[in-house]
Each structure stands twice: as structure tokens, then as C-alpha cells.
Amino acid sequence: MTKYEVTHRLATAYHPQRSGQVEVFNRGLKRILERMVGENRASWSDKLDDALWAFRTAFKTPIGCTPYKLVYGKSCHLPIELEHKAYWALKHVNFDLKTAVITRSFNLMSLMIRI
């Protein structure tokens, strides 16, 4: 932990207010859930996994990477279902698919080289 200049602090689970980092995390997760659920607040538990995944794979400026990359040491790969949705979105907004395929192939090759 000293390598990454992280200070270890203890806080009880019954008083998360004492830990500012917990409050920041909860605020961010709450914001994502509010946007995903909208008016139907009863379905928040169904969207919790997706909200956590979005939070963990989003770039965080203070740490200079995603929390996923910080923990696992590599970038997160999208599940196939989300890849398909991304392809549909590209096609739907009439982007140049040939350029998108070349860019995507380049990105995948660079990931393969890192591994």
C-alpha cells in the first residue's frame, strides 16, 4: 500500500459517515442509479449490478484510471451483449462502419499486445 501512497484507515460499518471515501462512493453510485431507474424507483435492485459495473469501469481522475484497472491491472473488456449494442448504436447514427472496424481492431490488437 505504501507503493501507491495509500493510507489505511479503519471505520466501523455502523458509521459510514466517518469515512469520506465511502460517502463519495455512495454519492456516485446513487447518481448512476437515479439516472438508470428514472421514475420507477422500485426497480433499483434490478439495476444495481449494472450501476456497479458502470461505476467500476468509469475513468476516475484522482486515481488516473478506472477502479477495475487499479484492482486487476488491466482494462475491462465489454461483454458480447454490450459489444452488440455498441455496434447497433454505431450503425444507428450512421457512423462510417469501415473506420469504426479499423479503429476497433487496432484497439483490440493493442490490448492483446499488453497481455
pLDDT digits (tens, 9 = 90+) for 49-77: 888 888 888 888 888 888 888 888 888 87
- 68 & 112 share domain: no
Angstrom distance (rounded) from CA 36 to CA 48: 9
Angstrom distance (rounded) from CA 74 to CA 1: 18
- 12 & 68 share domain: yes
- 18 & 69 share domain: yes
- 66 & 101 share domain: no
Q: pLDDT at position 71, please?
A: 87
The number of domains in the chain is 2
- 82 & 70 share domain: no
* Contact between 20 and 42 (Cβ < 8 Å): no
Read off the pLDDT of residues 9-53 as tens digits, 9 standing for 90 and up. Answer: 776 666 656 667 778 888 888 888 888 888 777 888 888 888 888
**Continuous segment of H or E residues that includes residue 21:** helix 20-37
- 49 & 69 share domain: yes
Domain range for 110 is 77-115
- 57 & 6 share domain: yes
